[in-house]
């Protein structure tokens, strides 16, 4: 926990500094007749973020906050594995949307999650995995007229559009 | 009298078939969301907001408000039956609700919770009806300096009353405001903070991307990690006769319920406080004023009634500043406020002038939602209990899919979906280290307004910050805000002084 607290504070401090530098691309001072420049608001907020990180690190050194004093592990090994697998499978689903589209990546993700992470029966996993994209299609594409990304599978949907719209 | 006329017009709109259907659907969904451990009103509203583009704005907000309400009822179900709070707002309900269920009084606890929620909700909606129009009228005189001062007050309550780590609360506020500045500068129109020159940042960071990331993806990751253990579900026998008997028994808890309703309502108005501290405070007060404080924690029915009345009252209370001042009273209302902006309704005092029908329809819908939430709750308690048996490994992936599609729908950009994943994972890692997330969500919603009001005020005053202190309304508000910012410091100095003497 203690090490995680320091690493997080340092990473956030670097991000704050980057944000300050990025805000300074626009004027951060006073422009006569126009008020504060466009970069002023984010610049001072990022400076505030940086200040908070310094404050957190000082408290880490003095061990004066509960987290910086904790001897608990930040994450237990088995939990870390599950969280990493879940986050990676989510990223894989989002990534594959670009290629095979929502209607193929979503069922694959649901199947993987329910069958292999949840150890549910094939029948349960398959029925939910196949039903979800069908419901999604009717709700978004037909009712809301919001087209979801389909990647290379777009031509497969032309007949469906002709049929329903 | 005018209020009553407007309210009856509101009822006229709400009682249309579509809106009634939306209320019933919203209450049922809210009850379900509230009852699922790990999901509360804020998660439901954040994930489902993109789905409401199907209906007109008035219908959409009525639906979301019904979810908000239903979730307050639903939270009690898992608190009592599983001993796990269904939402943070129902934490106090477990203290006595769980012991009651273990003693075989689950039905009494559930029905008391439902009845108390109903009374708390009704009292608070009546208070809301009385307070909202005069407050909106006062707020009409507000200029940019007052707007900015009110926002400072909202953030100050997080620091002074939020109870989280102070530097981390500040960090959360700052990063939320800074993220809201991404996109085009609102005054000069120049692009700013375009990270990595990605075109996706030109349209800014939609508050929903952050809200769904944190309250959808981050929350589920959190629940996956924390729900490792097994849970036992209590049995409840509910018959019409038992319901009637238990509802009659509510009279014995009248004092606790009425106290909880008023306390919850006023705590709910404060931006950082909301329903969770409101219900915990109500529990504390109920214990203090009780004739038998020792029985609290062992299954005292007042210990269920007071927090349940308070959390419903607080959810109504938090809508008061959102509608009248444009300052949300809770994370859930912050998301509702963001939604209203998407629908082209600018919250704040002008709403009461320009969109009177909308405002009164929303208020009327709260009365109606309250009745339906009670009925659905009482009729379907056995159903909800069986739903709680649904394994999390089925619910979690479905919610992830809803998040991804919900993150895509408002802007139709995959850039936002990736950003949402990043926010969800980083938010989860930060939350594990006690960084509070609610201030960041409130800040990203209020950010554009805060920046505009500050820059315009400074332009008027030619760069002097005294404008926020010298005006008759903004001055006192700023002083209260500063006092709240300093409150943790004063507390610490006192503690230190107490130790040395």
* B chain contacts of residue A102, beta-carbon cutoff 8 Å: 405
Q: Which of A1, A20, A33, A42 would best serve as a mutation to test chain B binding (most B beta carbons within 10 A)? A: A42
Collapsed DSSP state (helix, strand, coil) of residue A31? strand
Assess contact for B197 and A43: CB atoms under 8 A.
no
Look at residue A56 in the predicted model and tell me its pLDDT.
94
Please say if the pLDDT value at position B386 is more than 90. Answer: no
Beta-carbon contacts of B472 under 8 Å, excluding residues fewer than 6 positions away, are none
CB contact under 8 A, B224 and A86: yes
Tell me whether residues A42 and B396 touch, CB distance under 8 A. Answer: no
% of residues, chain A, pLDDT over 90:
55
If pLDDT is split at 50, 70 and 90, which confidence band does B229 have? Answer: very low
Both tokens of A32, joined, read: 């006569």
Q: What's the 3-state SS for B283-349?
A: HHHHHHHCCCHHHCCCCCCHHHHHHHHHHHHHHHHCHHHHHHHCCCCCHHHHHHHHHHHHCCCCCCC
Domain boundaries, chain B: 2-495
pLDDT at A78: 84
Between β-strands A30-31 and A35-36, what pairing exists: parallel, antiparallel or unpaired? antiparallel
Contact A146 B412 (CB under 8 A): yes
Residue A132: pLDDT band with limits 50, 70, 90: very high
Helix axis angle for B106-139 and B2-14, nearest 10°, is 120
Confidence of residue B32 (pLDDT cuts 50, 70, 90): confident
CB contact under 8 A, A23 and B432: no
Chain A nearest-CA distance from B221, in A, is 7
Q: Which candidate in A26, A94, A133 is best for mutational testing of the B interface (most B CBs within 10 A)?
A: A94
Mean per-residue pLDDT, B227-232: 54
Q: What is the mean pLDDT of chain B?
A: 86
Interface list for A 16-75 with B (CB within 8 A) = 19, 22-23, 25-26, 30, 34-36, 38-39, 41-42, 45-46, 48-49, 52-53, 55-56, 59, 65-67, 74-75
Instruction: State the pLDDT at residue B236.
Output: 67
The total of other beta-carbon atoms located within 10 Å of residue B79's CB is 33
Distance separating alpha carbons of residues B176 and B205, to the nearest angstrom:
10
Contacts of B56 in chain A (CB under 8 A): none
Q: Kindly tell me the burial class for residue A14, based on how many C-beta atoms sit within 10 Å of its own C-beta (0-12, 13-18, 19 or more).
A: exposed
Instruction: Calculate how close chain B gets to A128, using CA atoms only, in Å.
Output: 9
Q: How far apart are CA A120 and CA A107, in angstroms?
A: 15
Which of chain A's residues have a Cβ under 8 Å away from the Cβ of B53?
144, 146
Number of Cβ within 10 Å of residue A125's Cβ equals 23
Residue B232's pLDDT band, with cuts at 50, 70 and 90, is low
Least confident window among B228-242, B298-312, B447-461: B228-242
| Whole-Å CA distances, B331 to A46, A132, B131, B347, B441 | 23, 29, 22, 15, 7
Question: In percent, how much of chain B has pLDDT > 70?
Answer: 94
> Are B455 and A36 inside 8 Å of each other by CB?
yes
* CA A135 vs CA A130, A131, A141, B253: distances in Å: 9, 6, 10, 45
Q: How far apart are CA A54 and CA B452, in angstroms?
A: 29
- Is the pLDDT at B228 greater than 70? The verdict is no
- Comparing CA positions, the residue from B139, B453, B103, B482 lying closest to residue B299 is B103
Angle, in degrees to the nearest 10, between helices A77-100 and B414-431: 170
CB A37 within 8 A of CB A31: yes
pLDDT (0 to 100) of residue B21:
94
| B272 or A33: which leads in pLDDT | A33
Q: Does A149 touch chain B (CB under 8 A)?
A: yes
Query: pLDDT digit string (tens) for A135-153?
Result: 989 888 887 778 899 989 9
pLDDT, residue B176, reads 95
At B184 the three-state DSSP class reads: strand
Please give the average per-residue pLDDT across B247-251, as a whole number: 82
Query: What per-residue confidence (pLDDT) applies to B171?
Result: 96
Q: With contacts defined as CB-CB under 8 Å, which chain B residues touch A25?
A: 192
pLDDT above 80: residue B306: yes
Nearest to A48 among B170, B394, B434 (CB): B170
**Is the CB of residue A77 less than 8 Å away from at least one CB of chain B?**
no
State which of B30-44, B75-89, B113-127 shows the largest mean pLDDT.
Answer: B113-127
Contact (CB<8Å) B195/A22: yes
Task: Give residue A123's pLDDT.
Answer: 92
Give percent above pLDDT 90 in chain B.
27
Q: Tell me, what's the ipTM? A: 0.94
Alpha carbon of A5: minimum distance to chain B alpha carbons (Å): 7
Q: Which residues contact B47 (CB under 8 A, 6 or more apart)?
A: B212, B215, B216, B399, B402, B403, B406
pLDDT of residue B500: 56
Q: What is the pLDDT, as a whole number, of residue B38?
A: 67
Strand pairing category for B183-184 and A35-36: unpaired
Q: Which residues of B touch A82 (CB under 8 A)?
A: 224-225
Two tokens, residue B96: 């006595």
Nearest to B426 by CA among B186, B217, B167: B217
Q: Residue B303's CB: how many other CB atoms inside 10 A?
A: 30
pLDDT of B230: 45
Compute the distance between CA of residue A55 and CA of residue A59 in angstroms, rounded to an integer.
Answer: 6
Q: What is the pLDDT at residue B421?
A: 96
CB-CB under 8 Å, A67 with B433: yes
CA separation for the pair A132, A7 (Å, rounded) = 40
More confident residue, B7 or B273: B7
A68-126 tens-digit pLDDT: 888 888 888 888 888 999 999 999 999 999 999 999 999 999 999 999 888 889 999 99
> What pLDDT band is residue A49 in, cutting at 50, 70 and 90?
very high
């Amino acid at each position: 926990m203690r090490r995680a607290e320091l690493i997080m504070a340092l990473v956030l401090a670097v991000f704050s500094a980057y944000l300050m530098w990025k805000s300074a691309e626009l004027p951060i001072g006073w422009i006569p007749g126009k008020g504060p420049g466009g970069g002023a608001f984010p610049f001072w907020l990022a400076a505030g973020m940086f200040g908070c990180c310094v404050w957190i690190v000082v408290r880490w050194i003095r061990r004066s906050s509960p987290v910086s004093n904790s001897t608990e592990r930040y994450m237990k090994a088995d939990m870390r594995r599950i969280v990493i697998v879940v986050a990676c499978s989510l990223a894989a689903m989002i990534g594959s949307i670009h290629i095979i589209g929502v209607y193929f990546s979503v069922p694959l993700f649901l199947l993987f999650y329910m069958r292999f992470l949840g150890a549910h029966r094939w029948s349960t996993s398959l029925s939910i995995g196949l039903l979800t994209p069908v419901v999604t299609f009717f709700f978004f594409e037909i009712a809301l007229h919001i087209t979801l990304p389909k990647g290379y599978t777009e031509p497969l949907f032309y007949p469906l559009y002709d049929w329903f719209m | 009298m005018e209020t009553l006329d407007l309210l009856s017009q509101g009822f006229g709109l709400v009682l249309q078939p579509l809106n009634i259907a939306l209320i019933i659907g919203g209450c049922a969904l809210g009850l379900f969301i509230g009852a699922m451990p790990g999901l509360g009103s804020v998660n439901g509203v954040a994930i489902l907001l993109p789905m409401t583009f199907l209906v007109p704005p008035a219908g959409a907000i009525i639906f979301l408000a019904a979810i908000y309400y239903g979730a307050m009822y639903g939270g009690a179900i898992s608190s009592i039956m599983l001993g796990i709070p269904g939402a943070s707002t129902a934490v106090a309900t477990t203290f006595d609700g769980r012991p009651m269920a273990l003693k075989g009084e689950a039905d009494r606890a559930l029905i008391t919770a439902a009845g108390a929620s109903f009374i708390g909700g009704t009292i608070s909606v009546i208070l809301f009806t009385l307070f909202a129009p005069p407050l909106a009228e006062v707020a009409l005189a507000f200029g940019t300096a007052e707007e900015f001062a009110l926002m400072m007050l909202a953030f100050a309550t997080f620091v002074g009353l939020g109870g989280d780590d102070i530097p981390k609360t500040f960090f959360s506020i700052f990063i939320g405001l800074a993220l809201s500045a991404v996109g085009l500068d609102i005054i000069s129109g120049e692009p700013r903070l375009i990270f990595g020159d990605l075109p996706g940042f030109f349209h800014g960071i939609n508050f929903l991307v952050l809200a769904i990331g944190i309250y959808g993806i981050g929350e589920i990751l959190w629940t996956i990690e924390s729900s490792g253990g097994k849970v036992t579900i209590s049995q409840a026998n509910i018959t019409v006769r038992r319901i009637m008997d238990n509802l009659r028994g509510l009279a014995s808890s009248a004092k606790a319920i009425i106290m909880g309703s008023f306390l919850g309502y006023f705590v709910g108005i404060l931006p950082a406080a909301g329903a969770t501290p409101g219900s915990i405070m109500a529990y504390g007060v109920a214990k203090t004023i009780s004739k038998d404080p020792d029985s609290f924690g062992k299954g005292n029915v007042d210990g269920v009634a007071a927090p349940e009345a308070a959390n419903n009252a607080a959810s109504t209370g938090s809508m008061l500043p959102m509608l009248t001042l444009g300052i949300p009273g809770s994370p859930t209302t912050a998301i509702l406020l963001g939604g209203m902006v998407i629908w082209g309704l600018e919250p704040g005092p002008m709403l009461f002038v320009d969109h009177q029908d909308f405002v009164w329809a929303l208020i009327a819908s709260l009365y109606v939602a309250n009745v339906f939430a009670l009925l659905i709750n009482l009729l379907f308690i056995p159903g909800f209990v069986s739903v709680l048996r649904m394994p999390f490994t089925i619910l979690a992936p479905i919610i992830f899919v809803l998040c991804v599609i919900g993150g895509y729908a408002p802007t139709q950009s995959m850039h936002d979906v990736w950003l949402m994943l990043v926010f969800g994972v980083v938010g989860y890692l930060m939350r594990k280290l006690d960084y509070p997330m609610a201030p960041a969500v409130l800040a990203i919603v209020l950010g554009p307004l805060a920046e505009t009001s500050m820059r315009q005020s400074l332009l008027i005053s030619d760069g002097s910050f005294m404008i926020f202190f010298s005006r008759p309304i903004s001055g006192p508000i700023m002083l209260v805000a500063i006092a709240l910012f300093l409150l943790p410091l004063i507390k610490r100095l006192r503690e230190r002084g107490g130790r040395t003497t």
